[in-house]
Structure 1
Amino acid sequence: MRSLSDLVADGCGLPFAAASDALRDAVAGRGLAVVEAPPGTGKTTLAPPVLAGVVEGRVLVTQPRRVAARAAARRLASLTGTQVGDLAGFTVRGERRVGRGTRIEMLTPGVLLRRLLRDPALEGVGAVILDEVHERGLDTDLLVGLLGEVRELRDDLAVVAMSATADAAGFAALLGGDGGPAPIVGVPAVTHPLEARYAPGPLPLDARGVSRDFLAHVAAVATRAFAERPDDGDLLVFLPGVREVRTVAERLRADLDAEVLELHGQVPPREQDRAIAERAPSGRPRVVVTTNLAESSLTVAGVRVVVDAGLSREPRRDASRGMAGLVTVREARSSADQRAGRAARQGPGVVWRCFDEQTYLGLRPQVTPEAQTADLTGALLTLAAWGAPRGEGLRLPSALPAGSVADDEAVLGWLGAVDADGRITATGRRLAEIPAAPRWARALLDSGPLTGTRAAAEVVAAVELDVSGDLQREVARLRRGGSPESRRWSSEVERLERLVPAHAGIGAVPGVAVVLAYPERVARRVGDAYLLASGTRAAAPADLAGHEWLAVAEVTRAAGASAAGTGAVIRSGAPIDEATARLAGLLVDEVRGDLVDGRLRARRVSALGAIELSSTPVPASELGPDTVRRYVEDHGLGLIGFSPAADALRRRLALLHRVLGDPWPDVSEEALLARLDEWLGPELASAARSGRLAGIDLAAPLRRLLPWPQAGRLDELAPERLLVPSGSRIRLDYPPHDESGPVVVAVKLQEMFGLADSPRLVDGRVDVVFHLLSPAGRPLAITGDLASFWSGPYQQVRSEMRGRYPKHPWPEDPWTAPATARTKRRS
């Protein structure tokens, strides 16, 4: 058995041993450090023991994934000759191996966030290491901000951020705050030659996700790479998700004389250990098929060849359609480089990329921070529970996007978790204690009395396990047991049951919990697709497609068109009946309008959101101005249309707003719809009486938005026409309201003789660009500087055109020639 200090002194032959003293000095001096070291250099193995020798109390080390936390703890236990839970242990969701004497505890960021909410002072903890911060996971980003506040109360708490490719200087400034940047500690990569081979294949994505043809191509590339591997090394094959890993692994088991292992979050811990352990010298060669787990969080020993499918799975949201979830996208170049580097850790290696070099060069440079694309309800609930609504006042790696914050805080308000100012409520604190997304936590509490606590916990646990398809069928399968997945699920069910009040319920219907979590996702079959209460149409998988009603747990975008062109696909859900659908609380009885041949037709409908249950025609007069206004808000101003005069006025007002700002009005679609009553109220009231909506001329209504007294200067600042030297008044062509192009006037060249100074609009702030035309109206030149044109290019135009148009004047001196719109004879 070795102590942690012995482990540091020995260094275990790891490159990071060279940085141990620098890290020790940084933590002893500032209590802060940023560690920058490539994957495989040993920072996760050696940095925690270094800190344990400097600080009093336990060292907490976050790992972005459960498998990495368990593997790191087992690695330290193995190197010290101890059991997991003695010197080093781990805590992940549903499993804890920690003892009284544990000095180093590996845990996931989510576990540490919940611990901070229970114990903001982190009593008994001497240091926190945030590993893999370059992945920009949402929970890790939040921990950076929260731990910054903890250090204001506990200056004895050391905080270290570790990364393979992060912006070290940026994190150093963030952690250091007003005290100056934190020290940066790093070691260079131990590099070996790496050969890149490109093996492009079919398009990777189709309407259902990653295509079968592409997965077959990846398997074929892996088979070839295995046959040509150097020095009998092992293979590491990167794919985006569990389904793809299983599909390719199954093919390779049939084709290769090798031990084919899977590595992902659903693999049992013992199998994970086999995948990352050293191969016995006499053992069969190995092929490890993995998700991005092995990209930076884990080191897979013995790998000399990497096969990279070039895809990753990242969170995406579509607030307008109520869709959020993981989608398959092209990886970032930083991820491609990290994956490739796994082949050259222990000697020369080869990376086979299942795409061409041009695709590689065109990859986005870095991964997108999860906070920019993910559902933020859980993060906002954590911040509210911490006392920092919306993250205000925290030093976060990047600000949370304002639009997502507004949308998701509204969801928390609907759940009763926060008040109007974003502060947490008693219900919110209760939800924050349940290790599930806020919607599912609320569903667990509310559906218990209806279905029984056990049945509600089963559904939430299945969703958190990321099952797909028919939830009712999947829950029944998990109940039967017999698989590691079932055991994990059962453990999670029991844990959730203990967190909420016990109820017997009146029937185990999985769809009830789903309806209460996502009422807007109640769906009814309409033709070949399903219409959600939110208004989105989506396709359903085969095991759900035959049911009349569905409670949809997850809906996401697919790569190809489907479901009436929306691209939406139901990934998981449960069959329900109409009575269960009504639990959504969305039932309305109202008059709705439809535009048919330019006229509004009125119907009284009973509906669950967008899903109509019944419809009866009624006179258009029953619509009322409010209904007409809502119809226009929902469908946009395009259903009325802008006449040429209205469009021209809108363009002029848009330019004034863009250049001068207030009080000149914003005339974007969003702004106009937000002020409909103010400028279009009389016309909407008239449409409610007559049923006529299309064909309203919007020119006069738009003038109601003109600010007074500034309105009197409209024609001076942005005139409709420009007086040119010939005496003609030529119409000015303003850029579209949503673009920032030039103001253009198209005029015959002869009408501009003598004009040296190009006119400017909006009190001299905006140039006019002249399209100078031939007598036949064809373009001859484009200029915003008439003086320069007359002095130079004009002579060439004159020499080319005077023979073609001899009846029109082409004087040598355009400065003194009279401007004219006529021929020489008529002049």
Structure 2
Amino acid sequence: WRALAAFRNGRVAGDAHRGGLATIDAAARQWRRRVREDASAPAELDAHVLGDLLIHAFPDRIGFRHATDPLRYALSNGRTARLFDDSSLRGEPWIVASELRFEARDGLILRGAPVDEAALRQAFPERFSTGDHVRWDADRRALVAQREARFDAIVLDARPAGRVDPAQAAGALTEAVRELGLEALPWTPGLRQWQARVQSLRAWMPELDLPDRSDAALLATLDQWLRPAFTGKTRLDALDEATLGEALKSGLDWSLRQRIDTLAPTRIAVPSGLERPIDYGLEHDGSPRAPVLAVKLQELFGLGDTPRIADGRVPLTLHLLSPGGKPLQVTQDLRSFWANTYAEVRKEMKGRYPRHPWPDDPWSATATHRAKPRGT
């Protein structure tokens, strides 16, 4: 605009293009005729007139100067942008960027104009607001409540607020988890096992129509399942294991929870009379790993077939252990192990663990988790 005004007054700056300015001036005359504007182009304009017009063309690129960096601006769309070091806009309180190059961090303002705040308030009064806002401070790992004056996403002024609004606190804590990731929650091995059991059943028995509880699905639906759990809380560590567990299970009625426990049990009874845990897991792609039952070999005497879960569809992977808890064999075919491999294992282990039973016929032997009494 300055170059054009100078051109109309018979002057051309050294870095301006005379032919380009002439083309712009001719186009301006045509537009004045089309809109029936009889007045000639003004020789000069108030510094804010151009910006006060451009805010209507680029309302998402209105910028407010950073408090400590005169080259950096917060934009109304929530992003930030920088001026060139030698920009004539340097230090202007308000600007509008008519040409902007978006980059990974700050955008780069290629062309813009200053804006008068009074004109901005007159044009967009509804976009100015004052209210209490709660946000997560990552450095302090705590909520910060502030009374903020804003223009869209731009914070113009912030002062400490009083009591934290519970609804805002729950939303801010949820956003903190979105930023930090699910590992910020109080996961326990038991809760991870529950997640793996549900995801496994989704693959093994799709007819159950279980909800997706993968990490990706949980992150995408935080507002539905996690936000209610933060009601009344102002700290991340106020969420305990029990509350997280109930939040994860929200949306599953009592009968469906019972079905999960029945079809993918956490423990299973073995012939020794004890219950042993089943270990579930997920691959990197979210598919279920084969469930594992680690149990001492002597506890399975008399059992012919591999135990199964999920209504008989999924065999357990047996980690058969020595009396000392060392793995002897991994199999999903217990019958084949007794018939083809047990004799060799018995021969090797009998001398190492003489106080434990190693019968010739494991099919008819009594299962036990104990050693033989001394002297027998």
* TM-score calculated relative to the size of structure 1: 0.33
Cα 1:776–1:677 change in 2 (3 A) is same
Mapping for residues 186-205 of structure 1, pairs under 5 Å? none
Match of 1:820 in 2: 368
The answer on whether the counterparts of 1:640 and 1:695 sit within 8 Å (CA) in structure 2 is no
Aligned pairs for 1:783-794 within 5 A: 783-794=331-342
Task: Work out whether residues 521 and 533 of structure 1, in 8 Å CA contact, stay in contact via their aligned partners in 2.
Answer: yes
Instruction: Report the CA distance shift for 1:532/1:817 in structure 2 as closer, same or farther (over 3 A).
Output: farther
d(CA) in 2 for partners of 1:741 and 1:751?
27
Give the deviation of 1:479 after TM superposition. Answer: 5.3
Q: Distance in 1 between matches of 2:65 and 2:342?
A: 67
Equivalent residue for 1:760? Answer: 308
Q: Is the 8 A contact 1:523 1:532 kept in 2?
A: no
Cα deviation digits, residues 116-157 of structure 1 (max 9, x gap): xxxxxxxxxxxxxxxxxxxxxxxxxxxxxxxxxxxxxxxxxx
- CA gap of 1:720–1:794, structure 2 versus 1, over 3 A, is same
- Asked if 1:516 corresponds to 2:61, the answer is no
1:781 shift after superposition:
3.2
* Contact 1:547–1:575 (8 Å) recurs in 2: no
- Unaligned 5+ segments in structure 1 are 1-450, 456-475, 558-567
Tell me, which stretches of 5 or more residues in structure 2 are unaligned? 6-12
Give the direction of change, closer, same or farther, for the CA distance of 1:708–1:817 in structure 2 (3 Å limit). Answer: same
Q: Determine the structure 2 residue equivalent to 1:623.
A: 165
Q: Equivalents in 2 of 1:823, 1:538: separation in Å? A: 74
- In the alignment, what sits opposite 1:635? 177
Name the SS of the counterpart of 1:789 in structure 2.
Answer: helix
Q: CA deviation at 1:716?
A: 0.8
For 2:56 and 2:211, the matched residues in 1 are separated by 44
Aligned to 2:17: 480
**Larger helix proportion, structure 1 or 2?**
1
Residues 816 and 629 (structure 1), Cα distance of their counterparts in 2 relative to 1, 3 Å cut: farther
- The residue correspondences of 1:778-817 to structure 2 (distance < 5 A) are 778-817=326-365
1:699 and 2:248 correspond: no
1:760–1:767 contact (8 Å) kept in structure 2: yes
The answer on 1:646 being equivalent to 2:191 is yes
TM-score by length of 2: 0.65
Distance apart, 1:806 and its partner CA:
4.0
CA distance in 1, matches of 2:211, 2:276: 26
Q: Is the 8 A contact 2:296 2:322 kept in 1?
A: yes
SS at match of 1:732: strand
Q: Could you tell me how far apart the structure 2 residues matched to 1:823 and 1:511 are?
A: 91
Kept in 1, the 8 Å contact 2:170–2:232? The answer is no
Q: 1:702 to 1:816 in 2, by over 3 A?
A: same
Alignment partner of 1:725 is 2:268? no
Does the Cα contact within 8 Å between 2:170 and 2:228 map onto a contact in 1? no
Measured at CA, do residues 703 and 481 of structure 1 come closer, stay the same or move farther in structure 2, by a change above 3 Å?
same
**What is the Cα deviation at residue 632 of structure 1?**
0.2
C-alpha distance 595-825 of structure 1, shift in aligned 2 (>3 A): farther
Match of 1:734 among 270, 280, 299: 280
Q: Which amino acid aligns with 2:323?
A: P
Instruction: Tell me if 1:570 matches 2:116.
Output: no
- Opposite residue 278 of structure 2, the aligned amino acid is L
Amino acid corresponding to residue 276 of structure 2 in structure 1: I
Q: Are the counterparts in 1 of residues 52 and 115 from structure 2 also a CA contact under 8 Å? A: no
Residue in structure 2 matched with residue 749 of structure 1 by the alignment: 297
For 1:725 and 1:648, the matched residues in 2 are separated by 24
Q: Distance in 2 between matches of 1:534 and 1:623?
A: 25
Within a 5 Å distance, the mapping from 1:528-539 to structure 2 comes to none
> Partner of 1:819: helix, strand, or coil?
coil
- Name 1:555's counterpart in structure 2: 102
2:196 is matched by which residue type in structure 1? Answer: R
Indicate the residue corresponding to 1:774 in structure 2. Answer: 322
1:455-482, Cα deviation, whole Å (9 max, x unpaired): 9xxxxxxxxxxxxxxxxxxxx9995268
Q: Which residue of 1 aligns with 2:10?
A: none
What is the alpha-carbon distance in structure 1 between the residues aligned to residue 366 and residue 53 of structure 2?
83
Contact 1:587 1:607 in 2 (8 A): yes
CA contact (8 A) 2:355 2:372 kept: yes
Q: Distance in 2 between matches of 1:639 and 1:653?
A: 21
For the pair shown, the structure with the greater C-alpha radius of gyration is 2
Cα deviation for residue 717 of structure 1 reads: 1.1
Give 1:591 shift: 1.5
Distance (whole Å) between structure 1 residues aligned to residue 68 and residue 328 of structure 2 = 57
> RMSD of aligned C-alpha atoms?
4.9
The SS at the match of 2:231 is: helix
CA distance in 1, matches of 2:62, 2:258: 48
For residues 68 and 109 of structure 2, the distance between their equivalents in structure 1, rounded to whole angstroms, comes to: 18
Task: Decide whether aligned partners of structure 1 residues 541 and 725 sit closer, same or farther in structure 2, where only a CA change above 3 A counts.
Answer: farther
CA distance in 2, matches of 1:705, 1:478: 67
Offset at 1:675?
5.9
Decide whether the 8 Å contact of 2:134 with 2:168 is kept in 1.
no
Match for residue 145 of structure 2?
A: 602
Q: Residue 746 of structure 1: SS of its match in structure 2? A: strand
Q: 1 or 2 for the larger relative contact order (CA 8 Å, sep ≥6)? A: 2
Distance 1:781 1:741, change over 3 A: farther
Residue 593 in 1 paired to residue 138 in 2? no
> Is the alpha carbon distance of 1:726 and 1:519 closer, same or farther for their aligned partners in structure 2, counting shifts above 3 Å?
farther
- Secondary structure of the residue aligned to 2:316 is strand
Change (3 A) 1:756 1:521: farther
**Cα–Cα, structure 1 residues 638 and 812, in superposed 2: closer, same or farther, change >3 Å?**
same
Q: Please tell me whether the aligned partners of residues 758 and 784 of structure 1 are also in contact (alpha carbons under 8 angstroms).
A: yes
Distance (Å, rounded) in 1 between the aligned partners of 2:343 and 2:83: 69
Q: Distance in 1 between matches of 2:368 and 2:248?
A: 36
Aligned residues, how many?
332
Name the CA shift for 1:703/1:515 in 2 (closer, same or farther; >3 Å).
Answer: same
